[in-house]
């Protein structure tokens, strides 16, 4: 069976555009909140295949999405390397910061697959669930964080508004930064290969903090390491489609696409599609880029903006998505309404 999302990733324009949404699983869904209550912690969900399969499948059952993004988190890589990770209730991730050579030397690739094993089991379980539940039109997407984004959390020990700790480290001690990123690149390449071995049919690299990075750092610590990950994954799986998402990278997006060799690029909300159509090669699949705030608002503004995106990209391989993730305050009815509008091509209310 040919899958619409895979066809788009392989360079075909598909109508209606296949759709999935970043952060489609998670707190906007009442069924996720129930699972979360039972599980306790997001990391317990990530490492318990039965729960992670369930969380991955929830938006597929409800919305019949064309893509099922693996339920996990980008920060499982630092954790697998030996860094302590926990989620502070109501706040976000915390890690013991990697501040110097001693901290870095304490990390190791030796046991990453022991720690990440349950995630590979989840991938295999999702493929099986898609078949068993007759949802095999849906493509299973694996993922990892982009090396720079992962490093920003490893260095700061938490999310930061401007990623200053990582930027300062990169300027002050580029050799240290390179060694840290090389380690993340090695772990990420192996991690993605194992996800694909287990059944992932495409993978996305979430470079969420690619915005506001000076060109020099962007080349060395975003483009170059991403290119290495793409090459490593392709050496093992030459035909696997790879989606890069250099969020908020603006004018650096074309260089990112060309140099890394990704098959598809996620476009954040700020990207003009007229610009993207001219600046990016015709063979590259474009994914995006509805403002998540329109999804929260719902209604005509959401539907007409979504259809405009589809119309602008109709002659190109295109996967409909948001410019960033679904926020927890989104009504599931708005998501259903969005999917219906894209599939029917109609912006009118569906009832």
Question: Would you count residue 195 as binding ligand CP3 (CB under 6 A)?
Answer: no
Contact flag: residue 71 with ligand CP3 (CB under 6 A) = yes
Is residue 208 involved in binding ligand CP3 (CB under 6 A)?
yes
Q: List, as one string, the DSSP characters of 247-273.
A: TT-GGGHHHHHHHH--SEEEE-TT--H
Burial of residue 161 (number of CB atoms within 10 Å: 0-12, 13-18, 19+): exposed
> Is residue 143 near ligand CP3 by the rule CB under 6 A?
yes
Check binding of 158 to ligand CP3 (CB under 6 A). no
- Which CB atom, from 149 or from 228, has the smaller least distance to ligand CP3? 149
The smaller minimum CB distance to ligand CP3, of residues 24 and 190, is found at: 24
Is 16 near ligand CP3 (CB under 6 A)?
Answer: no
Q: Quick check: is 247 catalytic?
A: no
Binding track, positions 85-104, relative to ligand CP3; x by CB under 6 A = -------xx-----------
Q: Is 150 left (phi over 0), alpha (psi -120 to 50) or beta?
A: alpha
- Concatenated DSSP letters for 130-193? HHHTT-TTSEEEEEEE-HHHHHHHHHHSS--SS-HHHHHHHHH-HHHHHHHHHHHHHHHHHHHH
- The active-site residue out of 153, 247, 268, 303 is 153
Asked if 260 interacts with ligand CP3 (CB under 6 A), we say no
Which residue reads 């700020």 in tokens? Answer: 270
Positions in 306-325 near ligand CP3 (CB under 6 A): 325
Active-site residue 36, yes or no?
yes
Pairing, β 67-69 against β 264-267: unpaired
220 in catalytic set: no
Binding site for ligand CP3 (CB under 6 A): 22-27, 36, 42, 69, 71-75, 92-93, 143, 159, 206, 208, 325
């Amino acid at each position: 069976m040919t899958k619409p999302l895979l066809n788009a990733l392989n360079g075909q324009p598909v109508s209606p555009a296949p759709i999935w949404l970043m952060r489609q699983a998670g707190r906007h869904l009442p069924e996720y909140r129930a699972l979360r209550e039972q599980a306790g912690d997001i990391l317990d969900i990530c490492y318990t295949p039965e729960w992670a399969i369930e969380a991955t499948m929830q938006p597929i059952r409800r919305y019949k999405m064309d893509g099922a993004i693996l339920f996990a988190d980008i920060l499982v890589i630092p954790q697998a390397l030996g860094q302590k990770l926990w989620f502070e209730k109501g706040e976000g991730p915390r890690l013991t910061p990697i501040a110097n050579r001693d901290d870095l030397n304490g990390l190791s690739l030796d046991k990453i697959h022991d720690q990440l094993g349950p995630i590979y089991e989840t991938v295999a379980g999702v493929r099986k669930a898609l078949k068993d539940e007759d949802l095999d039109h849906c493509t299973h997407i694996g993922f990892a964080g982009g090396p720079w984004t992962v490093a920003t959390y490893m260095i700061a020990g938490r999310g930061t508004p401007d990623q200053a700790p990582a930027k300062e480290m990169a300027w002050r001690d580029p050799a240290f930064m390179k060694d840290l990123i090389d380690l993340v690149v090695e772990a990420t390449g192996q991690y993605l290969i194992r996800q694909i071995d287990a059944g992932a049919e495409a993978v996305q690299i979430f470079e969420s903090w690619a915005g506001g990075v000076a060109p020099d750092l962007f080349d060395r610590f975003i483009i170059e390491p991403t290119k290495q990950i793409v090459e490593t994954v392709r050496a093992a799986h030459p035909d696997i489609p790879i989606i890069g998402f250099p969020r908020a990278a603006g004018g650096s997006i074309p260089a990112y696409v060309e140099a890394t060799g990704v098959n598809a690029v996620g476009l954040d909300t700020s990207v003009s599609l007229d610009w993207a159509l001219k600046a990016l090669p015709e063979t590259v699949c474009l994914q995006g880029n509805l403002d998540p705030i329109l999804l929260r608002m719902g209604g005509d503004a959401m539907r007409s903006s979504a259809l405009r995106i589809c119309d602008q990209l109709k002659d190109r391989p295109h996967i409909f998505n948001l410019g960033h993730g679904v926020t927890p305050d989104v009504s599931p009815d708005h998501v259903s309404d969005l999917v219906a509008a894209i599939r029917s091509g109609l912006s009118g209310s569906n009832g």
